[in-house]
Amino acid sequence: TRRHDDDLMPAVARACARARIRASGLGGVAVSVGPGGYTAVRLAVTVARMIAEAGGSACLPVPTAAAVALRRQKPEEPAAIALASKGETAIVTVVGVGGPPEPGLVDAAGLEALHGLGVRRLVVDQFVPGAIRSRAESLGWAIERPVFDPVACLEASVGVEAVDPLDLAPIYPREPEAVTKWRALHGGGDR
């Protein structure tokens, strides 16, 4: 019955109380930094920065796809994880094909190249463009919903290089919508 972000800080306080720790005693704060929903990622990064800065903790920036990858239905299979959709494109991170996963902008036609890499599974939220979902289905890919699990975020933070809280930043592979709209309304120049 409440907005999820209205309960964020009380939820952190409850988790610390249950674990019998103080936020000021944390050695690090793992946070999902995107790509993903612009507002949700920005909120998560801001709260993590605040907790870490107040407590003298390091920040562990975890790409959202790295945490989602740990909760896939078939983690042994290569997958394309699409978490930030806009228009007819999505930011897609391919996992399980070797090498470090790097997010990239993909449209429905771009799935062909991923198919050539052995990807046969698409992890998408409800915002994925219909053309991407339809193309994946026509290629015979399995479609599954992402699982956003805070424990997976913590697990994915193992080995992540800690950053100073003031240096923590979201992963935004494209210009934020507010900036795009500003440019459209004001002729594209910086003011």
pLDDT per residue as tens digits for the range 72-90: 999 999 999 998 888 899 9
- pLDDT tens for 17-39 read 999 998 888 889 999 999 988 78
pLDDT tens, residue by residue, 45-64: 999 999 999 999 999 999 99
What is the pLDDT at residue 103?
A: 85
* pLDDT confidence band for 188 (50 / 70 / 90): low
Residue with tokens 């934020």: 176
At residue 178, the pLDDT reads 77
pLDDT tens, 129-181? Answer: 999 999 999 999 999 999 999 999 999 999 999 999 999 999 887 777 778 88
Ordered DSSP codes for 26-91: -SEEEEE--SS-HHHHHHHHHHHHHHHHHHT-EEEEE-HHHHHHTT-SSTTS-EEEEEEEETTEEE
pTM of the model: 0.85
Contact 129, 90 (CB under 8 A): yes
Asked if residue 82 lies in contact with residue 124, where contact means CB atoms within 8 angstroms, the answer is: yes
Q: Using a pLDDT cut of 90, give the percent of the chain over it.
A: 64
Alpha carbon distance 135, 146 (integer Å): 19
Pairing state of beta strands 79-86 and 121-124? Answer: parallel
CA 17, CA 178: separation in Å to the nearest integer? 38
Based on the number of CB atoms within 10 Å of its own CB, is 172 exposed (0-12), middle (13-18) or buried (19 or more)?
middle
**CA–centroid distance for 171 within its chain:** 8
Contact status, residue 76 vs residue 122, Cβ threshold 8 Å = no
**pLDDT of residue 118 exceeding 80:** yes
- Residue 99 confidence (pLDDT): 73
